[in-house]
Amino acid sequence: MKKVMRQLKLSPMLDTLPERLALARQQHLSHAAFLELVLADEATRRDASSAARRARAAGLDPAMRIDTWDDHAKVRYDRTVWTDLTSLRFLDAAHGAVILGAVGVGKTHLATALGHIAVRRRIPTLMLRADAMFKRLRASRLDNSTEAEMRRLAQVRLLIIDDFALQPLDATATADFYELVVARHQRNATIVTSNRGPDKAHLFARTCAEVASKRDTFALIRVQRDGRAVGHRRGDRRGRSSLLRVSSRTLPRRVSGRSY
């Protein structure tokens, strides 16, 4: 049997076969029921293995999943907004999400968990630290591959940009971010995490993402340590001035400096 299973590339089934044979004897399973049981084990194993490979390719930390989130951690956030985000309905509408909070409150974990949910649903996903993304775009200018790199970032169904605006963006990074926002606008969903508030306009050499439309649709979730006020905005006046929001109903327009 081992030789045959290896020829059929079913060797992993050998790991659970003794237990399944014992179970079949105890429960007097029919041959068909036993075969269904071992094949279901193999299908589950392959699904898990495939999801793990896709998660690695997407740049997701395997330990930062929704089931590993410490629900008793002393941080506060709007659970209604979070529940809505985990449904991934915002992907269908090509809307975005911004996760804000101080260092160490779990922004990256929450964003990565959403990425894992998307990967399990076989949704093309890519997660990058903002500094690494801008570095890759800058390096692409050396071999004239900027257009291809920007197209790759623009076309992925879910793009997660982690630790956005830790440092002020120079003119090149600002221009790249503007181009990426425009390319993904109303086409694909984006998640951004940052420890900067949405009022930090001075972070940009030339700011590029204020939106004034009342039809704006996005989710802004703040994660803060217990004991501090927590708020979220969904398309209100305060939320619409966010420079970190990357999905909107209107194209980004200039805030200061010249537009692109």
Domain of 108 in residue numbering reads as: 61-240
Q: How far apart (Å, rounded) are the C-alpha atoms in residues 23 and 1? A: 18
189 within 8 A of 90, measured Cβ to Cβ: yes
Segment 81-115, tens digit of pLDDT: 899 999 999 999 898 888 888 888 899 999 999 99
Q: What is the residue-averaged pLDDT of the chain?
A: 78
Give the number of domains in the chain.
2
The region of weakest confidence among 6-10, 70-74, 203-207 is: 203-207
Q: Tell me if 220 sits within 8 A of 98, measured CB to CB.
A: yes
Q: What is the CATH number of the domain that holds 210?
A: 3.40.50.300
For the packed helices 171-184 and 130-140, what is the interaxial angle rounded to 10 degrees? 100
The tens digit of pLDDT for each residue in 229-246 reads 333 444 433 333 333 333
Taking the C-alpha atoms of residue 102 and residue 108, their distance in angstroms, rounded to an integer, is: 11
Same domain, 76 and 127: yes
The domain boundary, picked from 56, 83, 99, lies at 56
Residues 39, 147: one domain?
no
Distance CA 1, CA 3 (A): 5
Quick check: 33 and 21 in contact, CB under 8 A? no
